[in-house]
Amino acid sequence: MNPALWRLPAIGLAELEERAALRTRIDRKYLMTEASADRMLDLPEARALEIDGVRHFTYESLYFDTPELASYLRTAYRHRRRFKIRTRTYVDSGAIWLEVKVPGPRGSTVKYREPHGSPDDGRAFIDEVFARHGLGVRDDLTPTLRTAYLRFTLVLPDDSRVTVDTDLHWTAGDRELRLPGMAIVETKTGSAACAADRGLWQRGHRPIAISKYATGLAALRTDLPAAPWRRVLRRHFSGSVSCVSS
């Protein structure tokens, strides 16, 4: 744990949800070393999310797709009506949410979520979101990929958010992927770039095409089309896949 994280003023979950929930937002993602990501802690007037005395949180996500991988393939082929479905477990509290992401206007992402009891329910919620956006997906949904990572979250004075994810781990079937020493930094803004984006650009970092679901599955399944992530896969994911011990 970086001590600098604890030197920042705290923000509670309720205030974050009130100020910076950003259900419709622009996401910009960056992949870098953990040392570079820690420089986010130097952002002026940043506040760190703190819940029950914890600032570094363990996340686990289980992604669902159709048997034909409609979610993955629509993303790979940049289909206008793409979608992403997952359950997200906040390991520290035990809370589980079902989340559906769909494209919004002008390159934004819209996220819908509801409390979730188990991976077997929630189809009515998913169908409602699909109907609202004309997605027309009626196939069965099955667990496809599991991810786990550590995250801290910062809120900036303009109510934009920055998340920093480390200890990145993906599992699909008997194959797993880890990226030790690397971090995914994501800025979440209403539209315009925030101070975190501008600082990253000044240091030579640029947003990249990376998705924990799609890029992770592409790395674990080399038989799948992966044009949007080919450069990232070649540069950062090559040689990182292994078989899960029985």
Q: What would the pLDDT profile of 51-92 be if each residue is shown by its tens digit?
A: 999 999 999 999 999 999 999 999 999 888 899 999 999 999
Tell me what pLDDT residue 22 has.
64
Tell me what pLDDT residue 104 has.
84
Pick out the chain residues at pLDDT < 70.
1, 21-23, 118-120, 244-246
* Contact by Cβ (8 Å): 5, 183: no
- Distance separating alpha carbons of residues 234 and 206, to the nearest angstrom: 17
- Distance separating alpha carbons of residues 246 and 243, to the nearest angstrom: 9
User: Which residue carries 């570094």 as its tokens?
Assistant: 56
Q: For the chain, which domains are there?
A: 10-238 (2.40.320.10)
Position 96, amino acid: I
Percent of the chain past pLDDT 70, that is, above it, reads 95
Tell me what pLDDT residue 12 has.
95
Question: What are the CA-CA distances from residue 160 to residues 5, 25, 70, 220 (Å)?
Answer: 18, 10, 31, 32
Q: Is 119 exposed, middle or buried (0-12, 13-18, 19+ CB in 10 A)?
A: middle
Backbone φ, ψ for residue 213 (5° rounding):
-75, -60
Tell me what pLDDT residue 56 has.
96
47: which strand partners? 155
* Contact by Cβ (8 Å): 73, 242: no
Tell me what pLDDT residue 120 has.
53
- Distance separating alpha carbons of residues 173 and 168, to the nearest angstrom: 17
Tell me what pLDDT residue 25 has.
80
Q: Is 168 exposed, middle or buried (0-12, 13-18, 19+ CB in 10 A)?
A: buried
Tell me what pLDDT residue 155 has.
95
**Which among 84, 87, 86 is positioned nearest to 95, based on CA atoms?**
87
User: Which residue carries 């979610």 as its tokens?
Assistant: 71
* Contact by Cβ (8 Å): 154, 147: no
Tell me what pLDDT residue 246 has.
47
